[in-house]
């Protein structure tokens, strides 16, 4: 198996190689990131000033919906699967993923699914306009006809996620090199193992809920219709049973990435490895019993409000353990601040801000005020942008030299970081204020008193967008040339991936390494 990749386009179409597939996932994710980013900029352009300037309110709704869907299912999730594909086999000393053909299948479903989803923009009645959370009856009784295509797109991307997750679990449980015991696995592998479990547990529930919608729309069932004895609130329960674990699906691998990077640049082993593993597991467990914190205002019995309030607050404990461990890892380390480290440190700080606003939202009586305001938007963008997105960016800078054999341009990397950092804080920090002052989310126009903050947010958003173009440019330049990277790339980094040459050969660990 010493041979290299096939020539031409078939290399990508027919590949079974985890590195090729990882690369395709990452490029696909970046394309979706740009597409979702364009949708976001349409939103921010409209909100630059009060009043209706650029788009129709109906189209505005399509933009918020498509932005959320594309970012969650098209940008963040595939990026992490791409990283898993590239790194997990190399980190555990495996020759490839456990089921290489299914691996390629998981990937190739995605372009089809998203082409179908994006094509709804051109359909009569427009794209889905009911928000990425697609609450019934907005998404059933009052939905545009394109909802059917949306439903099937969700079905097949769910199938892709489930197959991807099965593959990752089989790889981790079955393909570790001799001596690579579970408690020696790098944390990125650990967090992905748990994420894959979450995916297999909740993607079928998402499939279930869209199936119920499909039946209500086309076959007159009564799942979400009180006239027949169903309940629209049922939709929200089933959706959030998927939805809350889903947000952890988007953040646990990010925890893993950051736990790889911080020790390298602090030049100290990760503080509290075992506690990280246990904290990740408890977060995963708790994520199944907190879903109704998204539904405090929907009219639940008081016992339900209390249960979900306290269960949600409990999550702050293992999350706190993680933040503590990252900070303690850095404490008295001999730190340097290369681009991946900058993104990781920013991750720790800004994600924590998002965690705190989450805690505020978890207080049920307070959430009666905050719910469906920009405060919620600020919260989840603080956990997703400097959380999930920053960790993905950090991972790309960290491992890119291993992938392509060249060092990226550090100055450009740092410029990217500061632009992104500034841009996102300008965009999302003011949202806390307008939210607390009562500006509702998902509206194309707003009261005059919110004007200044919204203008700042819009300018920040365009700055953030521009930063990503620089990122793209830097990555392409690195792939095409640049200073040669050493095999270790960084100073004494931990892990098997640094024992193979840079760029990593097409096939690594055909013979399993011995792990001490």
Partner 1 sequence: MSSEGSYYVPEQSKLPIVASLGLFLTVFGAANWLNGDSKGPTILFCGGLLFAFVLWQWFSAVITENINGMNSPQLKRSYVWGMGWFIFSEVMFFAAFFGALFYVRTFAIPWLGGEGDKGITNEILWNGFQSEWPVMTTPDMAVNGDAAKVSGPGQSMSFANVDSLWSWLPFWNTVVLMTSSVTVHFAHTALKNDNRKGFNLWLGLTVALGIFFLILQAEEYYEAYAHMGLTLDSGIYGTTFFMLTGFHGAHVTLGTFMLLVMFLRSLLKGHFKHDDCFGFESASWYWHFVDVVWVGLFIFVYILG
18 catalytic? Reply is no
Is 322 a residue of the active site? yes
Neighbours of 283 (CB within 10 A): 24
**70 vs 283 by CB, closer to Cu ion:** 283
Is 416 marked active-site? no
Binding site for ligand HEM (CB under 6 A): 133, 247, 250-251, 293-294, 312, 315-316, 319, 355, 358-359, 361-362, 367, 370-371, 376, 379-380, 383-384, 387-388
d(CA 233, CA 239): 10
> Please, what sign has the CA dihedral across residues 151, 154, 160, 165?
negative
Residues 60-119 that bind partner 1 (CB under 8 A): 94-96, 98-105, 107-109, 112-113, 116
The question of whether 391 is a catalytic residue gets the answer: no
Q: Is 67 assigned a catalytic role? A: yes
Is residue 398 flagged as an active site residue?
no
Q: Which stretch binds partner 1 (CB under 8 A): 70-78, 164-172, 454-462, 477-485?
A: 164-172
Provide the residue count of the chain. 516
Respond yes or no: is residue 293 known to be catalytic: yes
- From residue 359, alpha-carbon distances to 250, 296, 438, 439 in Å are 18, 14, 19, 20
Which one of the listed residues 18, 19, 176, 322 is annotated catalytic?
322
CB within 8 Å of 411: residues ≥ 6 apart: none
- Assess contact for 397 and 413: CB atoms under 8 A: yes
Stretch that binds Cu ion, among 38-46, 237-245, 300-308, 412-420 (CB under 5 A): 237-245
Q: Are 290 and 305 in contact (CB under 8 A)?
A: no
Of 258 and 404, nearer to ligand HEM (C-beta) is 258
Interacting stretch for Cu ion, rule CB under 5 A, among 26-34, 129-137, 238-246, 403-411?
Answer: 238-246
Among left, alpha and beta (phi > 0; psi -120 to 50; other), residue 331 is beta
Is 246 annotated as catalytic? yes
The answer to the question of residue 244 lying near Cu ion (CB under 5 A) is: yes
155 is catalytic: no
Active site (annotated) includes residue 319? yes
DSSP of 35-69: HHHHHHHHHHHHTTSSS--SS-HHHHHHHHHHHHH
Q: Is 14 in the site for partner 1 (CB under 8 A)?
A: yes
Q: Residue 281 touches which of Cu ion, ligand HEM, partner 1, none (CB < 5 to 8 A by kind)?
A: none
Q: Whose Cβ is closer to ligand HEM: residue 18's or residue 379's?
A: 379
Which of 203, 234, 71 shows the shortest CA–CA distance to 140? Answer: 234
Asked if 334 interacts with partner 1 (CB under 8 A), we say no
Instruction: Report the nearest approach of ligand HEM to the CB of residue 10 (Å).
Output: 37
Q: What mask of x and - would describe binding to partner 1 in positions 143 to 162, judged by CB under 8 A?
A: --x--xx-xxx-xx--x--x
Q: Which of 15, 139, 259, 344 is catalytic?
A: 259
**Could you give the CA distance from residue 392 to residue 70 in angstroms, rounded to a whole number?**
16
Q: What is the distance between the alpha carbons of residues 184 and 161, in angstroms, rounded to a whole number?
A: 26
CA distance 376 to 15: 42
Q: Which residues are catalytic?
A: 67, 96, 132, 160-161, 244, 246, 248, 259, 293-294, 319, 322, 441
């Amino acid at each position: 198996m010493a041979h290299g990749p096939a020539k031409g386009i078939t290399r990508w179409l027919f590949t079974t190689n985890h590195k090729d597939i990882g690369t395709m996932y990452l490029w696909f994710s970046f394309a979706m990131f740009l597409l979702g980013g364009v949708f976001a900029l349409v939103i921010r352009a409209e909100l630059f000033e009060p009043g209706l300037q650029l788009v129709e309110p109906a189209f505005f709704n399509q933009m918020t919906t498509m932005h959320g869907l594309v970012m969650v299912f098209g940008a963040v999730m595939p990026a992490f699967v791409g990283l898993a594909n590239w790194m997990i086999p190399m980190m555990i000393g495996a020759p490839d993923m456990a089921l290489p053909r299914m691996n390629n299948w998981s990937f190739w479903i995605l372009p089809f699914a998203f082409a179908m989803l994006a094509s709804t923009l051109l359909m009569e009645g427009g794209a889905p306009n009911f928000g990425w959370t697609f609450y019934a009856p907005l998404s059933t009784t009052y939905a545009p006809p394109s909802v059917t295509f949306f439903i099937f797109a969700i079905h097949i991307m769910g199938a892709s996620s489930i197959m991807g997750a099965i593959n990752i679990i089989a790889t981790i449980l079955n393909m570790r090199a001799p001596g690579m015991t579970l408690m020696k696995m790098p944390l990125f592998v650990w967090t992905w193992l748990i994420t894959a479990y979450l995916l297999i547990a909740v993607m079928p529930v998402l499939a279930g809920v869209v199936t119920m919608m499909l039946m209500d729309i086309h076959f007159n069932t009564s799942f979400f219709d009180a006239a027949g004895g169903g309940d629209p609130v049922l939709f929200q329960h089933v959706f959030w049973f998927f939805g809350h674990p889903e947000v952890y699906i988007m953040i646990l691998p990010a925890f893993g990435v950051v736990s790889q990077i911080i020790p390298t640049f602090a030049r100290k082993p990760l503080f509290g490895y075992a506690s990280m593993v246990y904290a990740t597991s408890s977060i995963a467990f708790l994520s199944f019993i907190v879903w109704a914190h998204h539904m405090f205002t929907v009219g639940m019995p008081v016992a339900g409000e209390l249960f979900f309030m306290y269960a949600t607050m409990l999550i702050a404990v293992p999350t706190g353990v993680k933040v503590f461990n990252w900070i303690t890892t850095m404490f008295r380390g001999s730190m340097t601040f290369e681009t991946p480290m900058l993104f990781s440190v920013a991750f720790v700080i800004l994600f924590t801000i998002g965690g705190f606003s989450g805690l505020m939202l978890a207080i049920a009586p307070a959430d009666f005020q905050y719910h469906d305001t920009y405060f919620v938007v600020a919260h989840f963008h603080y956990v997703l942008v400097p959380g999930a997105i920053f960790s993905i960016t950090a991972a790309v800078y960290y491992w890119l030299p291993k992938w392509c054999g060249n060092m990226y341009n550090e100055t450009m990397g740092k410029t990217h970081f500061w632009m992104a950092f500034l841009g996102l804080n300008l965009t999302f920090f003011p949202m806390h204020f307008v939210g607390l002052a009562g500006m509702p989310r998902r509206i194309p126009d707003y009261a005059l008193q919110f004007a200044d903050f919204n203008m700042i947010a819009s300018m920040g958003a365009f700055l953030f967008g521009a930063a990503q173009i620089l990122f793209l440019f830097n990555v392409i330049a690195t792939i095409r040339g640049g200073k040669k990277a050493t095999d270790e790339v960084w100073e004494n980094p931990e892990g098997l991936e640094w024992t193979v040459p840079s760029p990593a050969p097409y096939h690594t660990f055909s013979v399993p390494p011995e792990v001490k």
